[in-house]
Structure 1
Amino acid sequence: MRLALLTDLHANREAVEACLAHAERQHIDQYAFTGDFVGYGADPAWVVRTVMAYVARGAVAVQGNHDYAVTRPPSARMHAEAREVIAWTGGQLDAEQLAFLAALPLIQRHGHACFVHASAHAPERWEYVTGIAEAERSIRASGSRIVFSGHVHAPALYRRADDGRMGRHVPQAGEAVPLQPQHQYLVLPGAVGQPRDQNNAACYAVFDDAAREIQYFRVPYDHGVAARKVIAAGLPIVFAMRLVEGI
């Protein structure tokens, strides 16, 4: 089975369309969306509706912190600009879309795989997996051979060897990384809708369980259009600049 992994879509229609079109050419059997479908971008209704359609056809989806926030009272944990977008987003979604986001699970396990937006260790705390210690904590808590997550907005791959040693790999675009069956892995595909690794091309990954490999992709898209839509919607200009600069 070939599984397309998309995370942190962040209401960016142009990036989502580009990644889904690219994935359709990769002979994908299944899709997984690991959270943050809203926030930052100007097309939350279109993105949520698209994810809902994929879920109706059997895709996996879990809740991200922005999806959680838009269905609940404002949280002081979010910075002011993000809260402003969340408040605006709530007015863009209909009741069915809000109910869909509210009902999403924080974590799903299927076979040897675990799907979670942040860390499998206390996923409701939205911990960022930015290093070896956080990755090991998530892998151990998952009870799974492979963990697929997001939240970090940059691609990475962590390995926990059968002797307990941890390792980290920064994948390159188009690189297919072989996975050893005796090890455990944590896969961060990078963000579809708001990359933050000095590269404004959208990110996603494909896991092939038969070939035992993960392949990372960068997909250029019209980030200028997406940025102008953010500005036209009256949202904080910083989120438009991030799309252009990839930070």
Structure 2
Amino acid sequence: MLLAFFSDIHANRQAFAACLEAARAKGAERFICLGDIVGYGADPEWSVDTIMALVEQGGLAVRGNHDNAVAVSSENMNAEAQAAIEWTRGRLSAAQRRFLAELPMMVPDDDRLYVHSEASSPARWRYVQSTADAARSMIATDAQVTFCGHIHRPTLYSMSVTAKMTSFIPTSHAPVQLLRGRQWLAVAGSVGQPRDGDPAASFVTYETQTREITYCRVPYDIETAAARIRANGLPPWLAERLAIGR
């Protein structure tokens, strides 16, 4: 089965729609959201409705820190992120807010684990930025492959049976086979706000039979996404950063 993973959508309708279209064109059969459906972007209602529909069709979703912040006002965020969350609260319906609040922190699925931040303490929202961070997450689970997001930069980590760690930045559209005998952690890039210097939207596919993972990049209408942010009075930097992938 071909799975498609979307992380850090951040209410960017244009980016998410482009990724969904690309994933379906590749033959994706099941869709998994790794959190942060909302925040930063100007279309939270559409984004949440779209994920809700995918879940109703058999997809899966976990809670991100921005999703959590809609209900938990004490979530620690910078001023721009906080402004976007406060605006988002006023846009979402009670049913949409309840959906976000009830999302699980982690979801096991066969030999895989899905989480927004990392597996050792998902509610602390720690970033996986190094092999040490990745090892801490992998040691906390017996899943052979963990898929996470949160950091907005695609990276693939592995750990051998002797705890030797490797990491690399995957080449877009180049399949990588996740060999058995190693534990893997795949950090998905961001759909709606990439921060690796490439403004193209990012998502991941994984073929469960061949164990091939592919990091995909999709160009989208950045100008419209940025214009929507400005038109709704959100902080200008949230629009400006889209074009530079920062």
User: Normalising by the residue count of structure 2, what TM-score does the alignment of the two structures yield?
Assistant: 0.98
Kept after mapping to 2: 8 A contact 1:156/1:188: yes
| Per-residue deviation, 1:31 | 1.0
Give 2:64's aligned residue: 64
Give secondary structure in 2 for the equivalent of 1:207.
strand
Corresponding residue for residue 3 of structure 2: 3
How far did residue 163 of structure 1 move? 2.1
What is the root-mean-square deviation in Å for CA atoms of aligned residues?
0.8
Report how far residue 211 of structure 1 moved.
Answer: 1.1
Render the CA deviation track for 1:59-95: whole Å, top value 9, x for unaligned: 11000000000112243x2111111110000001001
SS in 2 for 1:91: helix
Structure 2: tracts of 5 or more residues without a match: none
CA distance in 2, matches of 1:25, 1:222: 18
Deviation at 1:101?
Answer: 0.1
Tell me the alpha carbon deviations over residues 128-151 of structure 1, each in whole angstroms, 9 at most, x when there is no partner.
Answer: 001100000011112210000000
Match of 1:26 in 2: 26
Q: CA deviation at 1:183?
A: 0.8
How far did 1:177 drift?
A: 0.7
Give distance in 1, aligned partners of 2:71 and 2:59: 22
Q: Secondary structure at the match of 1:5?
A: strand
Unaligned runs of 5+ in 1: none
Distance 1:200 1:73 in 2: 30
Task: Tell me the matched-pair count.
Answer: 246
Deviation, 1:230, is 0.4
Deviation at 1:189, TM superposition (A): 1.8
Shift of residue 29, structure 1, vs aligned partner: 1.6
Q: Which residue of 2 is the match for residue 73 of structure 1?
A: 73
Give the aligned partner of residue 54 of structure 1. Answer: 54
Q: What does 1:169-180 correspond to in 2, within 5 Å?
A: 169-180=168-179
Does 118-127 or 156-165 show the bigger shift? 156-165
> Percent identity between the aligned chains?
43
The one-letter code matched in structure 2 to 1:69 is A
| Correspondence 1:37 to 2:57 | no
